[in-house]
Amino acid sequence: MTFVSESADYSQVGLVKEILGEILEKYNEYIIKDIGDIENKKYIVPNNNNKYYCFCIDKKEIEKSGGNYSLLYFFNNYDNFFTEIEFVSDMNKVIFEGYMYKKDDTCKYLMTDIIWKDGVVNLDYETRYNYICRMIKKNLLKNYVIDIQPHQVFKEEGKGLVEIFRKNFKYSSYYELSWVETISNHKKLNKMIEVPTIDITEIKLLKKQKLPDIYKVYSIKTGVNEGVLYVGSLKTSKILKEEFKDKVEKEMTCKWNKTFGKWEVVN
C-alpha cells in the first residue's frame, strides 16, 4: 500500500517515525528481557502472514494546526502509509498489531493485539484482546480507507476450529491463509501450518515497491493482496528488474513456493 493522507506531508512522516522509534526502542528492550509468562494459556491466530503494526497519534503532536484529528500510521518491514480519523482522546501514542487483508478495493485490518499504551501493555493476552474488541465496538478507529475489526482468535484447545475458519474466511483464499500465530502473553511465533501438496501456478498482478527486489502480489480475480513475492536468486532479481524497467505493475505467471509459503515468478 502506498496511500498517504493528503494532510500528511513528508516532514510529518519523519516526525512520526522519530516518535515511534523512541517507543519501539523501549518496547524492544522490554521484550528481549526474560519476562516470563504471566499466563500459561496459549492462543492461536490463523493468518496470511501479512502483519502490519498500527500507530495511533494525536495530529497536534506533529502539527500545531492539526485540528481535531488523529493519525493512523500502518507499517511493517517493507511498507508504510497513513490514514486519518476523528480525534480519540484516549488513543495518543498507541500501537496495535494485526493482519492486513484486501479484497477488490476494500482493505480490512484485523487487529490481534495492543502492545503499547502509556508504556508496554503488561496485561494478560485475553484482557488485551477484549480491550480491542470493546474499542472497535465503540467505533473509536472508524475511517473510510480501511475497515478495522478484531481478528478471530482461538484458544489453543480450540485449534480444531481453525480449519473451518480457513474454509469460510472471506478475505483470503484457503491456501493463502496457511499460517498460524501462537501467542503466549507477549511471546509470539508465526508458522506455516500447511504446505500445499500440489503444484499451484497462476497469473498474478505484481506491483513494484520502492525497496529493491520487493514486489507485492495480487490476485487477478479478487484483488486480494497475497503478500510479497519470493525472489530467491540473482537470476530472478535481474529478470524482474528488466521486466519492471519502465513499469510499476505487471501480470506474470507465478508458482507457489512450498518451502517459503510465497509466490515466485516462473523463469
Output the DSSP codes for 184-232. Answer: ETTEEEEEE----SS--EEEEEEEE-SSTT-EEEEETTT--EEEE----
Confidence of residue 194 (pLDDT cuts 50, 70, 90): low
Higher pLDDT among residues 38 and 203, named by residue? 203
Residue 38's pLDDT is 52
Per-residue pLDDT tens digits for 206-221 = 999 999 999 999 888 7
Q: What percent of the chain is predicted at pLDDT more than 70?
A: 88
pLDDT at 47 over 90: yes
Of the listed ranges 20-29, 32-41, 113-122, 165-174, the least confidently predicted one is 32-41
Mean pLDDT, the chain, rounded, equals 85
CA distances from 37 to 33, 45, 117, 185 (A): 12, 19, 20, 6
Which single residue is written with the C-alpha cell 484485523? 110
Strand partners, 194: none
- Asked: is 10-192 a CATH 3.30.470 domain? The reply is yes
Smallest Cα–Cα separation from 17: which of 83, 87, 70, 73? 73
Residue 142's pLDDT is 82
Confidence of residue 81 (pLDDT cuts 50, 70, 90): confident
Residue 170's pLDDT is 80
Strand partners, 208: 215
> Exposed, middle or buried, 265 (CB in 10 Å: 0-12/13-18/19+)?
buried
Going from N- to C-terminal start, the domains of the chain cover: 10-192, 201-265
Average pLDDT over residues 57-71: 81
pLDDT at 238 over 80: yes
Smallest Cα–Cα separation from 86: which of 72, 104, 65? 72
Residue 80's pLDDT is 86
Q: How far apart are CA 244 and CA 152, in angstroms?
A: 37
pLDDT at 37 over 60: no
Residue 86's pLDDT is 84
Q: What is the CA radius of gyration of the chain?
A: 19
Residue 34's pLDDT is 52
Average pLDDT over residues 185-208: 81
Highest mean pLDDT among 28-37, 49-58, 82-91, 154-163: 49-58
Average pLDDT over residues 31-49: 76
Average pLDDT over residues 208-236: 88
Per-residue pLDDT tens digits for 111-136 = 999 999 989 998 999 999 999 999 99
